[in-house]
Structure 1
Amino acid sequence: MKFVNEIYELYRNHLTGDEEDAVALVLNLLEDHKKNDILHVIQEMEEHEVYQMFAMYLIEMLKAKMAQESVGGSDFKTRMVNDSTLH
């Protein structure tokens, strides 16, 4: 959470509150970093933060896979296929 707080403080005046702001900001930040940079940030995270991060990743990837394989309702599939283009 420390890293998220630092990012928020740096960019808070540029955010409008839309989810797209967070997506654009994160993708832009990651663009300039290598795997080792990211792993360093992860190593500094609390255990529960790593667990939560990995759980969210697995959930989103599973939802995208289910949408790709046409599992579930059509609304779910449409929404998830559109969301999965971010990953």
Structure 2
Amino acid sequence: MKLVDELFAMYQDKITDEEDLDMITFAVLEHYNKKELMQIVHDMNEFELQYFIRMYLLESLKGKMEQSEVHDQYPSKHSKFYH
């Protein structure tokens, strides 16, 4: 993907960990509106689009699992086991 290649070329010497990647991606996304983001998606080839959707689904499901695990560790006030 062209955008990823450009970002990597610009920041490859500055990236040290995943936190750096988070900061870079958030900063980049702040500069795009919905129309521009949709154009990036539109310009993807089929493989890139499938990868993009796969990563979105994977990360979203991971987030749901983490939320579920946290919820399971702390019973709600309405649980019969809550003291």
Which bin holds the TM-score, normalised by the shorter protein?
0.7 to 0.9
TM-score by length of 1: 0.71
Match of 1:8 in 2: 8
Match of 1:85 in 2: none
* Aligned length in residues: 71
Partner secondary structure for residue 33 of structure 1: coil
Percent same amino acid at aligned positions?
Answer: 35
Give the drift of 1:32.
Answer: 1.6
Match of 1:59 in 2: 58
Larger CA Rg, structure 1 vs 2: 2
- What amino acid is aligned across from residue 68 of structure 2 in structure 1? E
Q: Map Cα deviations across residues 46-72 of structure 1 (whole Å, 9 max, x no partner).
A: 11111111111111111111221228x
Distance 2:12 2:37 in 1: 22
Partners of 2:41 and 2:49 within 8 A in 1: yes
- What amino acid is aligned across from residue 52 of structure 2 in structure 1? M
Match of 1:20 in 2: 19
* Runs of 5+ unmatched residues, structure 2: 74-83
Change (3 A) 1:23 1:54: same
RMSD in angstroms over aligned alpha carbons? 1.8
1:38 paired with 2:21, answer: no
Give the drift of 1:10.
Answer: 2.4
- What amino acid is aligned across from residue 65 of structure 1 in structure 2? K
When you count helix as a share of all residues, which structure comes out higher?
Answer: 1
